[in-house]
Structure 1
Amino acid sequence: MKKIAVVGAGISGLSMANYLEKHNIDYHIFERRKKEDMAGHGFLLPQEGVEYLSQIIDCQLLFEKGNFLKKYIQYSHQGKILAEKDLDQVFAISRQALITILSQNISQEKITYGKAITLSDIEEGKLQSIDGSHSNADFTIIADGSRSRIRGEIFTEEKLRTVRESEVVNIVKNKDIATSIDNDFMKFHHEKGGLTFGILKLSSDTILWYSQFDNEKYIINECSPENLKAYMLEVFHEWDPLVFSIIMQSDYENVHLWHVYELEKLNPFYKENIVFIGDAAHPLIPFTSQGVTSALKDSFSLTKHLVEKENIQQAFKEYEEERKPEIETHIKNGRTLLNQFLLPLDQYTENILPISYK
């Protein structure tokens, strides 16, 4: 097997590296950020995502760092239960914890941090020697996220549009609050629509929370942690006391304001000797809760076809044919969930679980 360059050391890139390790395939990862800047917040993993992870990591380590959720409970913004649904092996974990677990199987000699790769470094899909210490790669896997620079340089006609939703995401460490809630996925909805507050219990003392805003109704600009906290307290001051307490007691030093984007139309998943995986191939809006699982399945599928096919182009072609239909389903489901989010509660056609399934 030829040598592979992987661009991006986030969840997608590290998942890919773990699958390549499993098959003893040579690779090197290049990440533009510093290692200490790779932390994040967290996400949901449906059962399928846990199953794919179990092929490349010790799941006991995974289960020690996160939490299985029992039910999805939908509330009005003042705390009235609107709907409940049992969850089947849906797992919540912080991004930092999963990155740490995925990194354990990767020799640090195989990752170069602080090195941005652009299309000019890649000729016909082959990454050139960067500083003499890394041999040339025969093809390149791009895993540099939803705003992929390399994707934009290759597919110059693509249109990346702003989704009518922004998110504020944070983690609060507070044992008293964590103890007071069950292992449920809790989501509060404003009766007029376009504003929600979600709560995921990650451990006995840690809660991941996020708020989704209709960004045509709620204008949130990049601002200091102090100003963002003040804004959150103003917007949510009449909500259920649990919501207000979490907002009040959170440390905003690492809060993230996320402006969401999507492609108007999916690009091909490869061109010549360059292939895309995860959000770099197909940005998914957050309502799907399928970003990590899709990255894992991309990595599994691409590795499988690389092992089975001698011809790289044929491997890429079969990878795209296998993965694209499911991604298109998640995109459709995500837009359905977005459209419902924007409606007042009394116009919801049904109480939809905010996880996309194929």
Structure 2
Amino acid sequence: MCKQGENCHLPDCFCSTFHHLLDPEEIPQIVYFAFDDGVKEQAEAHYNRLFSEDRKNPNGCPISMTLYVSGDQTEYPVLSELSKRGFEIAVHSMSHEVIKTGEKVRDEAIGQRDNIINFSNVTVNQIHGWRSPYLKTAGDDQIQALQDLNFTYDVSFVYTRKTMDDLNPWPFTLDYGWTLPCDLPPCPAKEHPGFWVVPVNAMRDYGDWAACRSFDSCANKPLTMNQTYNYFMDNFRSHYQGNRAPFGIHMHANWFSKEEHINAMDKAIHDLLEYDDVYIVSINQALEWMKRPTELRFIDRFKPWRCSPLEEGIITFRVVLIFVLVVVAVGIYVKVMSTLFG
């Protein structure tokens, strides 16, 4: 049995749990977006709107997301541009076929990782994550293959809560195997020290009638912009007001072909950024926080969520400029007042 702090120690090991070691009020609410499949030019327009560079987390740095890229229909120049923006690029197989063996995982992961490296500006040390097509996995053989290839996490294993009031599990390492119910067998039963899994925590549909394994897969589909917005925000609040486990949105970009869908998501992201304790980050950034949990009052010092040097320089310049303008304004005010009242 995994016991945090006894036989499992951060940053290399974290036990499966529904309750983090920190008090929920000390935990930044992590929100991550994980988009699957090929990356095309029309999707880039949606990403540019939803994740525009002027949308910032409370620490002043741009929000981010993760793309799980498959080999079919990916336009690599577009992928390069998205990578330049700081979005995380991960692997979703080369063929987008059902994967049943560790050997198939190995071939698909190597092939698509090589495609991403060879045809875009992404380097091998930037690629950390894997997700299986259709969330069908090879269980222990899959994890072993990914570890051998130096992947550090997998986002393929599903957890389904029964109601909106139930808690979702936190990401954890497989030092003691997959300890949650196995919704889509096989799940890893063996020990895989130091390898992280981010459970695909199924959302509840907008009526809280049933589960949706991806954001865009509900049987009871929201039909209007308001229903879609409420579906998103109700699930968010269940995390924010619950155990503060990361809130993941797993989906496909073609869902944005309907105007009411992208309008609802745009409004939801806008409203999330009104919170001073909500951070929209990539999955790899979320796991960096898991490895070194940092309380909200110290989160500005947390390096993995800091901006790039250029962005930090721009922010610093703006702060200095505002300070200078204030000093100048005060000086002018004092001079005018001394002239008037000598």
Indicate the structure with greater strand content: 1
Normalized against structure 2, the TM-score is what?
0.30
Indicate the structure with greater helix content: 2
Larger Rg: 1 or 2?
A: 2
Normalized against structure 1, the TM-score is what?
0.29
